[in-house]
Amino acid sequence: MDQATPSANDQFSQFQDPPKKKAGCFSIRNIVLGCFGSILLCGGFGAATMFGAMSIMKTSGAYTQAVATAKANPDVQKKIGTPMTEGFFTTGNVSTTNNTGNADLSIPVSGPNGSGTLHAVGTLNNGKWTYSVLDIEVGGEHIDLLNAEKY
């Protein structure tokens, strides 16, 4: 009986490591990246929504008319200085349907001499804004733009 003797490689082949298993789609890395991606997506959507809402407010007649009135007021010009610029984070709401609506806005403003907040509350009737509140607060002082002398 002539049997071939096994070679050295054959003797140790039974002791080789089994092939490594793949981690699958639920690995920690994939879960973390998925959560991070979801957070970025939601944050981006929130930022886009906020930017869109502020853009709509800033193009409304209530906003532009209130800012123009404040810029033209001599008391505001003395307190804030010129040029007066509006800040980015306007808060409040504007609601219009056809030629009617209402607005309640707080608009940050600043100039070379200081900064303040312009408050405008008004209603739109037949395409014309009428304000019940239009004032600016600068350094704790209120300047009433509705009852100011006509300039």
pLDDT of residue 43: 72
Contact 116, 136 (CB under 8 A): yes
Asked if 44 and 98 sit in the same domain, the reply is no
Asked if 52 and 84 sit in the same domain, the reply is no
DSSP assignment of 69-111 equals HHHH-HHHHHHH-SS-EE-S--EEEEEEETTEEEEEEEEEEEE
Contact 93, 128 (CB under 8 A): no
Q: How far is CA 115 from the centre of its chain?
A: 21
Q: How confident is the model at residue 3 (pLDDT cuts 50, 70, 90)?
A: low
Asked if 65 and 51 sit in the same domain, the reply is no
Q: Is residue 111 part of a domain?
A: yes
Instruction: Give the pLDDT confidence of 117-142 residue by residue, as tens digits.
Output: 999 999 999 889 999 999 999 988 88
To the nearest 10°, report the CA torsion of 51, 88, 100, 73: -170
What residues make up the domain containing 134? 60-144
* Spatial separation of the C-alpha atoms in residues 89 and 108, rounded to whole Å: 7
Q: Which of 133, 92, 141 is nearest to 115 (CA)?
A: 141
pLDDT of residue 151: 41
What is the count of structural domains for the chain? 2
pLDDT of residue 40: 77
- Beta-strand pair 141-144/128-138: antiparallel
Asked if 138 and 81 sit in the same domain, the reply is yes
Asked if 139 and 69 sit in the same domain, the reply is yes
Asked if 112 and 125 sit in the same domain, the reply is yes
Instruction: Give the pLDDT confidence of 28-55 residue by residue, as tens digits.
Output: 777 777 777 788 777 776 666 666 555 5
Q: Is residue 112 part of a domain?
A: yes
